[in-house]
Copies of this chain bind each other. A is one copy, B any other.
Amino acid sequence: MIKNKTSNSLRGAVPLSHLFLRERVRPGDRVVDATCGNGHDTLLLAQLVGPEGRVWAFDVQEEALTATRELLSGEGLSGRVELLRAGHERLAEFVREELRAVVFNLGFLPGGDREFVTRPEHTVAALEQAAGLILAGGIITVCIYTGHPGGPEEGEAVARWGAGLSPKRFNVWSSRQLNRPATAPYLVLVEKSG
C-alpha cells in the first residue's frame, strides 16, 4: 500500500511531495491531480480526502486514465475521484471549487508513449489556474524531470513562474537532492499563505 511505502523515506521528489500532501490534505478536502499518469498520486489523494472529499484527476492519455481507474477500483475508492480526459491547462474549466492541493508530476507517462510529454506553456497555464483556486494554507506540488527533451526548459518555466509569485501571498520552495546527479527529479512546492 502506497501509504506505508512512502511515509518513511524521502528518497526522491515524489516521496517528498507525498510528505507535504499528507501533512496538509485533510478529510473532506477538494484536491486535483493535474497529471494522473499511472494513478499513484491520485490514489494517495483519494485516501487523504476520505469519503466526504473529492479528487479531480486530469490526463490526456486514455492509457493513463485506465491505469488510474483500475488502481482506484482495486482500492474501492473510485467514488471519490472524477477522471477527466483533458490537459491540465483546462483545469479551471472543470473545477470551480476551492482546493486544498493540486499535484503535478511532469514529463511523460512511465511506460507510456514518450511523444506525450507535458509542455511548458500548458504547465504554466495550469499552475496559474491552480494558484487561483487553492485555499490559504493550500499547496501545489510539482515534481520536475529534466532527463527527457524539453524537460530542462519546462523546469526553467516553472521556476520563472514561481519566482514571479508575490512573496506576500505565496511561499515557493525548490528542493533538490545534494547527493544525486544534477539531473535527478526535483520538487517545487507552492503554499498560499493567505
Residue of B nearest to A19 (CB): B23
**Smallest distance from the beta carbon of A128 to chain B beta carbons, Å?**
14
Selected interface stretch from A50-58, A112-120, A186-194: A186-194
Interface size on A, residues (CB 8 A): 33
Complex Cα spacing A176 to B171, Å: 10
The contact of A177 among B12, B22, B172, by CB within 8 Å, is: B172
Selected interface stretch from A37-45, A103-111, A158-166: A158-166
Is A173 within 8 A of B173, CB to CB?
A: no
Which B residues are CB-close (under 8 A) to A19?
20, 23
A4 within 8 A of B: no
Interface residue SS majority, chain A: mixed
Which B residues are CB-close (under 8 A) to A46?
none
Which B residues are CB-close (under 8 A) to A23?
19, 22-23
Q: With A162-B179, A163-B179, A178-B162 in contact, is A173–B10 under 8 Å at CB?
A: yes
**Smallest distance from the beta carbon of A3 to chain B beta carbons, Å?**
14
- A residues apposed to B, CB below 8 Å: 8-12, 16, 19-20, 22-23, 137, 159, 162-167, 170-180, 188-189, 191, 193
Q: Give me the 4 closest cross-chain CB pairs, A-B, nearest first.
A: A162-B178, A175-B175, A172-B178, A10-B171
